[in-house]
Amino acid sequence: MNLLSFGEIIWDSYGDSYTIGGAPLNLAAHYAIQGGDAWLASAVGNDVLGTRATEHIKALGLKTDYVSVLDGLQTGECVVTLDEKSVPKYNILENVACADAYDLIAQNYPKIKLILITQGEMGSTCYDCQNKKIYTCKAEPVTAVSTVGAGDSYGATFLTQYLKANDIMLSMALASKVSAFVVSHQEAIPNDTKEFIKSVVPT
């Protein structure tokens, strides 16, 4: 079976050191490594990191037919810094090339209103297809016990809150809190989930 993985290509920048990633790329790469045919639908800038990304993707065995190279936008990058306790902080740069891939989906499927992407400890991104605006939200700091159910709880919270308040940033912030709560438990649906949600979500 062929796989088409859609989403961002992001370089994690640690000063002078760079590592390539992004959940869609990682998924496609692991699929290709295990013998599958995988394509990546994304975009990179017409810059040094974009060239390196394309070369790296090809080396992983991925098809690049749907990876666009765009002038005027830089390749996706997340700047990782360490505080005085060596705790990493993530700053995902906005208005980068992979955002154009969101636009492509929005143009082909005009009824889509929002595209929501969770990125674990790197936070989350929401693309407003109607207004062509990108929103980012940092992940809540948490000691992870299990990440099972993290994205599910995030998505469910975002949807319920957005339908109530029509506020993207508020919905993302609340979804991050609920997701962090789930991550701090072994169960995907902790017994006291309802009580926690009541304590953080406005009525």
The hierarchical CATH code for the domain 112-203 is 3.40.1190.20
Strands 67-70 and 37-45 turn out to be parallel
- Collapsed DSSP state (helix, strand, coil) of residue 68: strand
Average pLDDT score over residue span 90-108: 71
Confidence of residue 177 (pLDDT cuts 50, 70, 90): very high
For 43-63, the pLDDT digits (tens) are 898 999 999 999 999 999 999
Determine contact, residues 52/67, Cβ cutoff 8 Å: no
2 pLDDT above the threshold of 90: no
The DSSP bridge pattern shows strands 77-82 and 17-21 to be unpaired
Task: Copy the structure tokens of residue 120.
Answer: 């674990």
Confidence (pLDDT) at 21: 81
Residue 106 pLDDT more than 90? no
- DSSP letter (8 states) at residue 63: B
Is-contact 70 76, C-beta < 8 A? no
* CB distance 107 to 41 below 8 Å: no
**Residue 93 near residue 77, CB atoms below 8 Å:** yes
The answer, yes or no, to whether residue 80 has pLDDT greater than 90, is no
Considering only CA atoms, which of 1, 110, 95 is closest in space to residue 43? 95
With contact defined as beta carbons under 8 Å apart, do 24 and 7 qualify?
yes
Q: Where in the chain is the domain with CATH 3.40.1190.20?
A: 112-203
Instruction: Please state which architecture CATH assigns to domain 1-108.
Output: 3-Layer(aba) Sandwich (3.40)
Identity of the highest mean pLDDT range in 3-12, 68-77, 89-98, 165-174: 165-174
Dist. CA 111–CA 128, nearest whole Å: 12
Q: Is the pLDDT of residue 85 over 70?
A: no
Average of per-residue pLDDT across 28-53: 89
First to last CA, the chain: 46
pLDDT of residue 84: 75
Residue 1 has pLDDT above 80, yes or no: no
pLDDT per residue as tens digits for the range 58-79: 999 999 888 888 888 888 888 8
Percentage of the chain modeled with pLDDT above 90: 21
At 116-169, the pLDDT tens digits run: 888 788 888 898 988 888 899 999 999 988 888 888 889 889 988 998 899 999
Percentage above 70 pLDDT, the chain: 94
What is the pTM for the complete model shown?
A: 0.61
Q: What is the pLDDT of residue 95?
A: 67
Helices and strands, number each (H, E), in the chain: 6, 10
Every domain of the chain with CATH number 3.40.1190.30 lies at 1-108
